[in-house]
Every structure is written in structure tokens, then in C-alpha cells.
Amino acid sequence: MTQSPSMVQTERDVRMMFSAEQIAERVREMGLEIARDLSGSKPVFVSVLKGACMFQCDLARATPLDVELDFLAVASYGNGKTSSGNVRLIHDLRADIGGRHVVLCEGVVDSGLTLSFLMDMFRVRNPASLRVATLLDKVPCRKIAVPVDYAGWKIGNEFVVGYGMDAAERYRNLPYVGVLQEA
Ligand code: PRP
């Protein structure tokens, strides 16, 4: 019998926070909001690999605009659960974002250090506008102020996995977002 990801990975160690249906509905709303704000433009949706990949693709499909996709990757050395702030670019965009409307897509904004690094990097490339969309915003964890234009949900200091987000590379393919239970 073919098993879905949610059946393969039991919920023994993951408590569901947002179901696949809740995510789909919220992402649909966000996609329409972005389309209203950027009406008539051809924005570039940039995702930060790897955690934002599912969100970026679903958000793009929920946005009835002519959207271009691009990707970047950063490395951040921390203790595995928190960012050290030592962020380094390891894969740059292919698109020239000069004069373009950019929507930076994140799965979760935590300390804000990754986003702050990327915003600084992007601003000097002179985009027409730069917006941030994140599925989850861990507001109480912020170490540096960053502008979040679109947030699916604000959450507390919880270690979230699923829908692109991982714990040591596991759980990214869960169709829902859950909280990893401590053993
Ligand atoms: C996560 C997430 C963000 C970053 C946010 O990435 O996808 O990019 O952390 O944390 P911050 O606000 O504290 O900087 P992670 O480093 O886990 O890599 P991944 O996306 O490859 O899972």
C-alpha cells in the first residue's frame, strides 16, 4: 500500500500545529493579498533554501500574477536550533533584481539574523520594492528588528518542523507544521 508522508512519519514526536488544510487556506489569502499590493507587476519570489521551498511554491501558485521564482541559500552556524548570526551566502540568485519587485519568502523568521543579512544584501541591488513573506513569525525570539510584511501566523518560541522545515534534515516533507516534542 502506498503511504502518504504523514502516515510514514507518525505523530509520535510531532504535535500538529497547523494542518495542511489550514496552511492552504492561509497561503491562499496571503497570495491574494500580495497580488493586490503588487497588482500589474511581475514580481520575483525568492526563497531561502531549504526551509522556505514549500511555502514559496504554494504562495506563487496562490498569487494570480506573472511571478518569477528564484532561490538562494545561506549557511548559518549555530547550535542546530538557533542561529549564531554568522550568516554566509552559499548560493546567490540568478536573477538581477535591480528595478524588480521582490518578495522574499521564508518558512520561519526567528532571531531575524538571516533575514537582516539578506535584506542588507538585497537593498544594495536596488530592487523597485522589497517585501518579506513568512509562513511563521516567531516574534518573541527576535534579536534584531526586521520588517515582515506578510505573516501566516505569529507563534511563540517553539521548534517547528514540517512543510519544508526540518530537525536535522527530517520532517521537511510533512504536509503540516508541527512542534517537535522533546524526547
Ligand atoms: C531557518 C529558516 C530561516 C532561518 C530563520 O533556516 O528557514 O532561513 O532559519 O532563523 P533566524 O531568523 O534565526 O535567522 P535554517 O538555518 O534552519 O536552514 P534550512 O532553511 O536549510 O532548514
Q: pLDDT tens-digit profile of 11-21?
A: 568 999 999 99
Asked, for residue 165, whether it belongs to a domain, the answer is no
Q: How high is the mean pLDDT of the chain?
A: 91
**CB of residue 110 inside a 6 A radius of ligand 1:** yes
Provide φ and ψ at 61, rounded to 5°.
-70, -20
Q: How many domains does the chain have?
A: 1
Radius of gyration of the chain (CA): 16
Asked, for residue 62, whether it belongs to a domain, the answer is yes
Asked, for residue 23, whether it belongs to a domain, the answer is yes
Domain span at 139: 17-75+88-159
In this prediction, residue 109 has a pLDDT band, given cuts at 50, 70 and 90, of very high
Asked, for residue 133, whether it belongs to a domain, the answer is yes
Question: What percent of the chain lies above the pLDDT cut of 70?
Answer: 88
**CB of residue 111 inside a 6 A radius of ligand 1:** yes
**CB of residue 114 inside a 6 A radius of ligand 1:** yes
In this prediction, residue 182 has a pLDDT band, given cuts at 50, 70 and 90, of confident
Lowest mean pLDDT among 68-77, 91-100, 112-121, 168-177: 68-77
List the grid coordinates of 77.
552556524
Please, which residues have CB within 8 angstroms of residue 79's CB and are 6 or more apart in sequence? Answer: none
Give distance in angstroms: CA of 114 to centre of ligand 1: 7
Asked, for residue 155, whether it belongs to a domain, the answer is yes
Asked, for residue 92, whether it belongs to a domain, the answer is yes
For residue 62, the model assigns a pLDDT of 98
With beta carbons less than 8 A apart as the criterion, state whether 44 and 100 touch: yes
For residue 12, the model assigns a pLDDT of 65
- Residue with the smallest CA separation from ligand 1 atom 16 is 76
Q: pLDDT tens-digit profile of 129-152?
A: 999 999 999 999 999 999 999 999
Asked, for residue 147, whether it belongs to a domain, the answer is yes
| Mean pLDDT value across residues 103-111 | 97
pLDDT > 70? residue 102: yes
Each residue of 94-114: b (16+ CB within 10 Å) or e? Answer: eeebeebbbbbbbbbbbbbbb
Residues noted as catalytic: 110
In this prediction, residue 81 has a pLDDT band, given cuts at 50, 70 and 90, of low
Q: Which atom of ligand 1 is nearest to the CA of 87?
A: 14
For residue 7, the model assigns a pLDDT of 42
CATH code (residue 60)? 3.40.50.2020
Asked, for residue 136, whether it belongs to a domain, the answer is yes
For residue 83, the model assigns a pLDDT of 62
Cα dihedral angle (121, 156, 18, 147), rounded to 10 degrees? -30
**CB of residue 170 inside a 6 A radius of ligand 1:** no
